[in-house]
Amino acid sequence: MLHALSFVDDPTRVLRAARFESRYSFAMDSPTEGLARRAVGLDMLGEVSGTRLREELLGILEEESPADALTRLARLDALALLLPPGSDADVALAAVTATDAVLASEQRPCAALRPPGRRTALLVALSTGATPAAAERWVRHLHISREQASHVLQAALRGPAVATALRSRAVMRDSRLYRLLEPLSPEVLVNLWSLGDITARDRIERHCSELARVRPAVSGADLIALGASPSPDFSAILAR
């Protein structure tokens, strides 16, 4: 740092310090790290607006190895400010590491579907384990875009139950697998795959490569031809 009040003047420098350490293989010297820890301990980052925290977080997620910078922030006791309330930092870091590895793989799962956005998929990973209420508070506080927030909230609302069902050793009909996974975005699916066991991964792959392509031969026009009047019931009938 250039002067002792650098982190006081702009606490987000703590976040950039971790990011640049990772990017350039640098390391803060002892006085700088000590002042960074002091700023975190005095909750200087807690005074920063959610919008500014979001920009710094998205910058970290754009790095080649975002988990490195996030791990460094965890060691500085600063990571909790970037996570949904009540989140487990170890769980979030493991999810980001696993998801980023899958996204970088040449054999990315669900390649037949729309490619997942990397930043959005990593935001979903970072929110792993968050309750729906905590995830909603998080996206509101950080002013995360509506499109990105929709994936985070979808994962919080549906992810845990879907993950449990995918791990089940019981036989699962294709129709049930389709109903479980069809509403989920590629960003949520890649997270479920990265954190799933072999059974879950096989089921996700089956859905992406085969079931997601299936379209029923029966349409609303066929129901009308049978004498049915268009209504909300059509959706339930066609789903069956």
pLDDT tens column, 161-203: 999 999 999 999 999 999 999 999 999 999 999 999 999 999 9
Q: Which residues of 91-122 are buried (b: 16+ CB within 10 A; e: fewer)?
A: bbbbbbbbbbebbeeeeebbeebeebbbbbbb
CB-based contact 90:50 (threshold 8 Å): no
Residue 211 is encoded by which pair of tokens? Answer: 């079931």
Distance of CA 8 to the CA centre of its chain: 31
Q: Which amino acid is at 208?
A: C
Q: What is the mean pLDDT of the chain?
A: 94
Mean pLDDT is lowest, of 17-26, 165-174, 228-237, for 228-237
Tell me: the pLDDT tens digits for 73-110? 999 999 999 999 999 999 999 999 999 999 998 777 88
Q: Give dist(CA 28, CA 57) in Å, integer.
A: 20
- pLDDT attached to residue 177: 96
- The closest alpha carbon to 2, from 32, 25, 23, belongs to 32
Residue 111 clears pLDDT 90, i.e. is over it: no
Q: Residue 8's CB: how many other CB atoms inside 10 A?
A: 14
- Which pLDDT value is given to residue 216? 82
Of 89 and 213, the structure prediction assigns the larger pLDDT to 89
